[in-house]
A and B are shown apart, each in its own frame.
Chain A
Amino acid sequence: NAGVTQTPKFRVLKTGQSMTLLCAQDMNHEYMYWYRQDPGMGLRLIHYSVGEGTTAKGEVPDGYNVSRLKKQNFLLGLESAAPSQTSVYFCASSYSPSYSGRYDADTQYFGPGTRLTVL
Chain B
Amino acid sequence: SQQGEEDPQALSIQEGENATMNCSYKTSINNLQWYRQNSGRGLVHLILIRSNEREKHSGRLRVTLDTSKKSSSLLITASRAADTASYFCATGAGGFKTIFGAGTRLFVKA
Q: Is B64 an interface residue (CB 8 A)?
A: no
A-side interface residues toward B, CB under 8 Å? 4, 31, 33, 35, 40-43, 45, 48, 50, 56, 58, 90, 92, 94, 96-99, 103-113
CB B88 to nearest CB in A, in angstroms, measures 7
Contact of A41 among B41, B48, B102 (CB under 8 A): B102
Contact between chains at A97 and B95 (CB < 8 Å) = yes
Contact of A108 among B2, B40, B41, B45 (CB under 8 A): B45
CB A88 to nearest CB in B, in angstroms, measures 9
Considering only CB atoms and an 8 Å cut-off, how many residues of chain B contact the other chain?
25
User: With A56-B96, A97-B94, A98-B30 as given contacts, are A113 and B103 in contact (CB-CB < 8 Å)?
Assistant: no
The total of Cβ contacts below 8 Å across the A-B interface reads: 67
Closest residue on chain A to residue B4 by CB atoms: A42
Q: Measured between alpha carbons, how far is A103 from B45 in the docked complex, in Å?
A: 14
A43 to chain B: which residues have CB within 8 Å? Answer: 43, 88, 100
User: With A42-B101, A106-B30 as given contacts, are A50 and B88 in contact (CB-CB < 8 Å)?
Assistant: no
Q: Is B67 an interface residue (CB 8 A)?
A: no
Contact of B103 among A42, A90, A111 (CB under 8 A): A42
User: With A106-B48, A110-B44 as given contacts, are A94 and B102 in contact (CB-CB < 8 Å)?
Assistant: no
User: With A106-B30, A110-B44, A111-B42 as given contacts, are A50 and B95 in contact (CB-CB < 8 Å)?
Assistant: yes
Q: Is B77 an interface residue (CB 8 A)?
A: no
Closest residue on chain B to residue A90 by CB atoms: B42
Contact between chains at A58 and B101 (CB < 8 Å) = no
Closest residue on chain A to residue B32 by CB atoms: A106
Q: Is B20 an interface residue (CB 8 A)?
A: no
Q: Which 8 A-B pairs have the closest CB atoms?
A: A97-B94, A110-B42, A97-B95, A42-B102, A43-B100, A106-B94, A48-B96, A98-B94
